[in-house]
Every structure is written in structure tokens, then in C-alpha cells.
Structure 1
Amino acid sequence: MQRKLGIIAGGGPLPKYLAEHCQYNGREYFVIALVGNADERILHALPVKWVRLGAAGKIIQSLKDQNVEEIVMVGAVRRPSIMTLFPDWRAISIIFRIGTIMVGGDNSLLTAIAEEFEREGFKVIGIDELLSDLLAPVGPFGMIKPNGQDLKFIQSGIQQAQIIGQQDTGQAIVIQNDIIIGTENRNGTDELIKRCRNTVSDHGKPILIKIKKPGQDRRVDLPTIGARTVQLAAECGFSGIVVETGQTLVVDRTKVTKTADKCGLFVIGTKLNHEQ
């Protein structure tokens, strides 16, 4: 018998995808929806409890009350400051325990949170363990492919993205030719794309590169794109998007491919040689 799954839900469609997977496979599940992040329109029909991010005690107790044994953390979460988190006593004790990690990179923080859940007796698993079909394949997704010059710049850009990723600051960069014109910060990929919107010139269009950080914990915050990412990149004058094969989640690949072909933009998966 499958263990009951707890879904810690941030923003975007992935929490619902996961819930539907559980329904299809007859697996019991319960959703903890993070107030201010999760989308009520998507989750309203699911077994769900809405909890603010700083209410760690309530989150843990709710999962225990529901007899949850395994947890998946999925969906975008806006990172609050200590002042806006309004932590309860349980959250305060966790903050003291993880200390300076609170002001570190997202991967370090999310890994520390996953370890806190495991300290409480839960097993934290990655969404790709359940939805492996969402992982990016190798090669172009649609009819449009990068040209030889693009491929040269992409290879250089990937190397630079890996160096930046070692600092645990972001999963994405934007290049124009072989120059980085933007890096992802805590505001996310959409904001990065918008920041780089007016850089189209005779020297080439921007390309988004989104890959897993070196040494990143696969259980939390794998790079993710969807049709919205593609549409926004096209609106902002990009020529294409590069994702890492087997390490990036692609939400509704069919829609992503159709959107890319319609917008005249390439989306390609590339396999990297680094420690998984």
C-alpha cells in the first residue's frame, strides 16, 4: 500500500498535476496550500488546508493529523523576509536551528527545510520521483532549432550558468551572443525575462538558459518551465530557451511545444556532463 502523500503547494499548476497523479493511481494525499503563493482557483476542489508560510507548527501538525508519511514540496514560493514571515514559535525554533542558512541561497534553505520535515518523521521526495514524464527530453521540442551560431553561444552560456549556479543564486541566465545580460534572482524567471526584453539588436536576440545548480538537492525546486515561460520569452523578443535534459520539469510539454512553434521560438533540451 502506498504511503499517504503530503503536497506542500506553492504557486503554479504543478500541485494540481501531482494531485491528479495521486487520484489516477489511487494514492491518498493531502494538500497544504501556502497562503499568498498557491492558487485557490487550481486547488479549491482538492483536500486542502490553507496555511501561511510562517506557521510551521500548524503545517507539521496538520500533516500528522492527516497521517501523511511522505512529502513533496512543489510550486513557486516567494521568499519572505524574517519581518514579513511572522513565524510562530515552531518556525522561530527552526530559524534558530538553521541560522545563517535563512539568508543564504534558495537551495541551501529548501534543503534545510526538507531536513526539518524529516526530523519530524516524514520522508521528503522529489516530484520527479512521481512525475518523471515531466522531465525535459534531449533535443528540440518542436520544429524550430537553434542555428550553428546559437549552439556555440549556448555552450558558452551553459558553462557560465554552471559557475553562477555554484553560488546558489539562481537557476537561469539570459545571454546575447556570448555575453550574460541577466541572471535570475529571488524574483524568478519571469522577472528575469522581462528585465531583458529590450535587448534585441543586430547582434542577436536573447536566449534563456535554465539548468539545475551544481550539487542542487533534487527533492526541492528543480528548474521548471511551462507554456507561459515560452509565451513571455517570445513577447520579449527572445530567440529560444535552453533547458537541462532530465533535470528540468516541463509543465504540459505538448502545449510548450505548440506555443514555441506558434511563436517562432526554439526550446531545446541539452544533456550536461556534471555530477547529478
Structure 2
Amino acid sequence: MLALIAGTGALPGEILAQLDERPLVCSMAGNDPTSVVAELRFRLEHLGSFLAELTERGITEICMAGAVARPKIDPTAIDAATFPLVPILQAALGSGDDGALRAVIEIFEKSGFSVKSAQDVAPDLLMTACVPTQVQPGELDKADVLRGVEIVAAMSSADIGQSCAVRNQQAIAVENAFGTDWMLQALQNRPDGQGGLLFKAPKLAQDRRADLPTIGPATVEMAAKAGLSGIVLEAGGVIVLAQDEVIATADRLGLFLWLRPA
């Protein structure tokens, strides 16, 4: 039986829509999901007790989906079942996103659960290599995407982001802890021209069972407002929500969408 630990955003809801059998939907206090209703809530300080309850309920698999803000641990609220996990949790909260997720996955696996990715339980979230839009990328775009691959690879070593914006083979913006939306909003205020692309891909050596990069229709809207000409995603490595709407939005705004092989 599957437990879905849901965060904010549309991803948890889209996963539920693709499943034949409803999982146990859970959420961490302070990160209430926006697209689904959680049946079980837990505090990070009670993580050990939460995992014990999952076992009692017959849960064998866990999937994490949606955005989650890093909580602050209240040392006085840690229960006995969670106390042995404190060193791992402290190290996780002090790591980058990928390091933190690896630590959480380690806790789940050592507790006897199999950790599944969103794309494991809902494979249709991923798109294969193609250019499904009316507008097609040009030669300048092909040069920009090669630069984008290099930039995201360099960012991976610092565990700081999964996307960048490139114009004329120059990085005009890179994702940081505030995310892709913040990066695209910042670009809207720059008066330095039009064109270029958004490139998005998983980090090198990323554990793809959590935090796979994601876009939806709003991403296309924001890329257009930022003056970009298109969006390039690693095929099979980026979740695309509301895929038909994403393509339709790109066509309406005159952007290309390129699912490019890794």
C-alpha cells in the first residue's frame, strides 16, 4: 500500500488523478497541500512515530510529491521514537536540497519502506523527446541549449538549482533557492532584450525519486512575460503537469516547447 506525502502545488493532485487506487495522503505540519486533502498530518519532531503508524496501517511504499519548505525543529517537541533520527535530520536541514532529500529517503528506507518517485507511480507525468508546439526551435536556440546544459551541470555541483535562462549563449538568469518562478519574475524587470530560452533538467547524479524538476501552464505564461522564445526540458527528466494545456498555452503565446534527449 502506498502513502503519498504531499506538499504544495499541483503535482500531488495530478498523481491522484492518475492512480486507480487512492493512497494514504499525508502531509507535514506547516506544509499543507494545496491540491489534495491530507488524511494524516505529522510534525517533523514526531517523524519516528509517524513512520511507526504507517507500518501499523500496512504502508509499504512512500512517494513524496509537491513543494515543502524546510521546517525548524523544536527540540522540546521531539518524541522518543524520533530522537534516534535527530543527527540525520540535523544534517539534512543543513544540506542542499538534493542532500536533504537523500537523507530523508535514507530514513524511510532504513524504516523498511520502498521510496517511489512521482513518475514511478504516475508514468504519464513525463514526456518523451519531441517538439509538440507549432513554433520550432531554430539554430540559435540549439546553441543556447548547449550552453544551458553546461550551466545546469555546473550548478549541480553546488546543489543550487535545476534551471537557467540563456540568450545568445550567455546566462541571463540562474535558479537559486527561491525557485524557477522567482527567476522568471526577475527577468520580467530586465530591459535587455527579447529571445532566449528557459532550460530545465535534473541535477547531475540527482536521486530522481524526489524533487524532479516540474513545469506547468503557469511556467509557460511566465516565460513569455520574461521575453523568452521557448522552453527546453530534458525528455524523461522533467515532470510536465497539464500537458495539453502547456502545449496549448505555448502555441497561444508563440513559444516553442522542446523535449530534448539528455
* Alignment gaps of 5+ in structure 2: none
Aligned residue number for residue 77 of structure 1: 68
Amino acid at match of 1:220: A
Higher mean alpha-carbon deviation, 171-180 vs 246-255, is at 171-180
1:195 aligns with 2:192: no
The structure-2 alpha-carbon separation of the partners of 1:180 and 1:59, relative to structure 1 and needing over 3 Å to count, comes to: farther
1:211 aligns with 2:205: no
Distance in 1 (CA, whole Å) between partners of 2:149 and 2:77 is 38
The structure-2 alpha-carbon separation of the partners of 1:111 and 1:102, relative to structure 1 and needing over 3 Å to count, comes to: same
Is the partner of 2:188 in helix, strand or coil? coil
The RMSD of aligned alpha carbons is: 2.3
- How far off its partner does 1:78 sit? 1.9
Conserved? CA contact 2:16–2:22, under 8 Å: no
Normalising to structure 1: TM-score of the pair?
Answer: 0.85
Please, which of 2, 6, 10 is the counterpart of residue 3 of structure 2?
6
Please, which of 207, 221, 224 is the counterpart of residue 214 of structure 2?
224
Higher mean alpha-carbon deviation, 69-78 vs 168-177, is at 168-177
- How far off its partner does 1:52 sit? 4.0
- How far off its partner does 1:61 sit? 3.4
Distance in 2 (CA, whole Å) between partners of 1:86 and 1:158 is 45
Q: Deviations over 1:123-144 (max 9, x none)?
A: 1111111222211321213111
Conserved? CA contact 1:53–1:85, under 8 Å: no
Q: Deviations over 1:117-166 (max 9, x none)?
A: 11111111111112222113212131112221121111122122112112
1:34 aligns with 2:24: no
The structure-2 alpha-carbon separation of the partners of 1:108 and 1:244, relative to structure 1 and needing over 3 Å to count, comes to: same
Normalising to structure 2: TM-score of the pair?
Answer: 0.89
- How far off its partner does 1:92 sit? 5.4
Q: Deviations over 1:176-233 (max 9, x none)?
A: 221212221222111111122233534x434211101110001111111111111122
Please, which of 162, 169, 192 is the counterpart of residue 171 of structure 1?
162
| Correspondence 1:1-276 to 2 at 5 A | 4-22=1-19, 24=20, 27=21, 29-40=23-34, 42-44=35-37, 48-80=39-71, 82=72, 88-89=78-79, 93-97=84-88, 99-199=90-190, 201-202=192-193, 204-272=194-262
Moved over 6 A (4+): 84-87
* Alignment gaps of 5+ in structure 1: none
